Amino acid sequence: MLRVAEQYATTDTGRQRRANEDSLLARSPLFVVADGMGGAQAGEVASKIAVEVFEQGLGDTAAPETDLAARAGSANARIHELSHSNAEQAGMGTTLTAVYVAPAEVAIVHVGDSRAYRLRDGELTRLTDDHSLVDELLRQGKITPEEAVDHPQRSVITRALGPEPAVEVDTRSYATRAGDVYLLCSDGLTTMISEERVSEILSTHPRMRDAGEALIAAANEAGGRDNITVVLFRLEDTSAPGEPAPSSPVTPDPRTEEQSALPDPPPPAPPPQAPPSPPPVRARSPRRPDEAGERGRARKGRLARRAVPAVITLVVLGLLAAGAYLALGSVYFIGTNGRGLVTLYRGVPYQLPGGIELYSSDYVTGVSASTLSPARRRTLLDHSLRSEGDASSLLHSLELGELGE
Ligand code: MN
């Protein structure tokens, strides 16, 4: 079964706009980008409403396309209604591109000129059609693709949530594959840099965070004329729970792997810290870390008494850490990452002298620990060791909002 192994989401005002009217949601398995329009902050209101209707997730839906389309319909109705009740917000609207990751496919609902892309085997494919004037002119053969690139009315869209009482939305599903990278973005990215450049950046930055930051930087370097929103996630196969992620090119750093631009107050619970805790030496079974720790202390004590040079001690510790890392591949604990997001870690919450971590970030939720009640925070983020199944189902419930307050 495929699931989201790594994600990164952020939005940037760009270099020319004063406000950011884009909104996003990155709450796996649901990802949304909305780009609002309208005067006096109305665009911001519209895009926020579009994202809000997805905040509670879809549950275990059997018909994701239908459910996504229904949410889009209710967002349209809410925005339309509000635009009539308030003169300042008359005519406001928003684009919407929402993706739901189901077990074997991604379902997409889409209106406007935000986009969804997939990078697979180094090839970038656009999964959505723009509902824009330029795109219609292109389809009618009235302009060439070259003319479209710099067309003065590039940002005029022909369909949006809000302006009309009802809206036609595109829905589609695509079969997924391990290693697929998905990008949702607002036009502030794609009007600033070419798809070739997007493809190149995604291909050369395997970590989602690096790719996202590089995309934003490239759009800003090209002028940053509009708000830029980027939501990225990568799917991996999780059917072999003891195996490391198949195409993870580097060991992720749990403190920097994921970032969300959602309101994210300072982390209330620190990431797994480095207690001066020794390695679980020869810990074949990682289920009893305390005992393993005892052995570790004893071993280290012996080494010290024999006055083995520090360098050799470090080498030994390094080898032990490597062994422990393999042995620890099947235990998990829940903590928070550097940005306060509830995170699933593989391994045990200890760090060896020299900064060698016995854990790695396995999955970052979109849930900020600060949204949990203190009691829930204590029981969930207590770093107790769990099986992958237990930990995953806990986090799944958390993401569905069942464990909230
Ligand atoms: Mn825009």
Q: How far does the centroid of ligand 1 lie from the alpha carbon of residue 223, in Å?
A: 14
295-304 CB contacts, 8 Å cutoff, 24+ apart: 296/320
Q: How far does the centroid of ligand 1 lie from the alpha carbon of residue 70, in Å?
A: 24
Rounded to 10°, the helix 195-204/208-221 angle is 150
> In degrees rounded to 5, what are phi and psi of residue 141?
75, 15
Q: How far does the centroid of ligand 1 lie from the alpha carbon of residue 3, in Å?
A: 29
Residue 285: the pLDDT is 36
Residue 353: the pLDDT is 56
Domains belonging to the chain, first-starting first, are 2-237 (3.60.40.10), 329-399 (no CATH)
User: Taking ligand 1, which is a single-atom ion, which protein residues have CB atoms under 5 Å away?
Assistant: 35, 186-188, 226
Tell me if 226 sits within 8 A of 11, measured CB to CB.
no
Q: What angle do CA 314, 308, 303 make, to 5 degrees?
A: 80
Rounded to 10°, the helix 42-52/64-85 angle is 150
Residue 402: the pLDDT is 63
Residue 243: the pLDDT is 45
Sign of the four-CA dihedral 244, 403, 258, 253: negative
Tell me if 36 sits within 8 A of 93, measured CB to CB.
yes
Residue 17: the pLDDT is 94
Q: How far does the centroid of ligand 1 lie from the alpha carbon of residue 160, in Å?
A: 12
Tell me if 152 sits within 8 A of 133, measured CB to CB.
no
Q: List the pLDDT tens digit at each of the 405 positions of the chain.
A: 899 999 999 999 999 999 999 999 999 999 999 999 987 789 999 999 999 999 999 988 889 999 999 999 999 999 999 998 888 888 899 999 999 999 999 999 999 999 999 999 999 999 999 999 998 888 889 999 888 887 888 778 999 999 999 999 999 999 999 999 999 999 999 999 999 999 999 999 999 999 999 999 999 999 999 999 999 999 999 875 544 444 444 444 443 334 443 444 444 444 454 444 444 333 333 333 343 444 444 444 444 445 556 777 777 776 776 666 666 777 777 887 666 667 787 777 766 555 566 677 777 777 777 677 766 776 777 777 777 777 878 887 787 776 644
Residues 6+ apart with CB under 8 A from 152: none
Residue 248: the pLDDT is 41
Is the backbone of residue 354 left (phi > 0), alpha (psi -120 to 50) or beta?
Answer: left
Residues 6+ apart with CB under 8 A from 69: 109, 169, 171
Q: How far apart are CA 44 and CA 39, in angstroms?
A: 9
Among 314, 391, 403, which residue's Cα sits nearest to residue 367?
A: 403
Residue 308: the pLDDT is 57
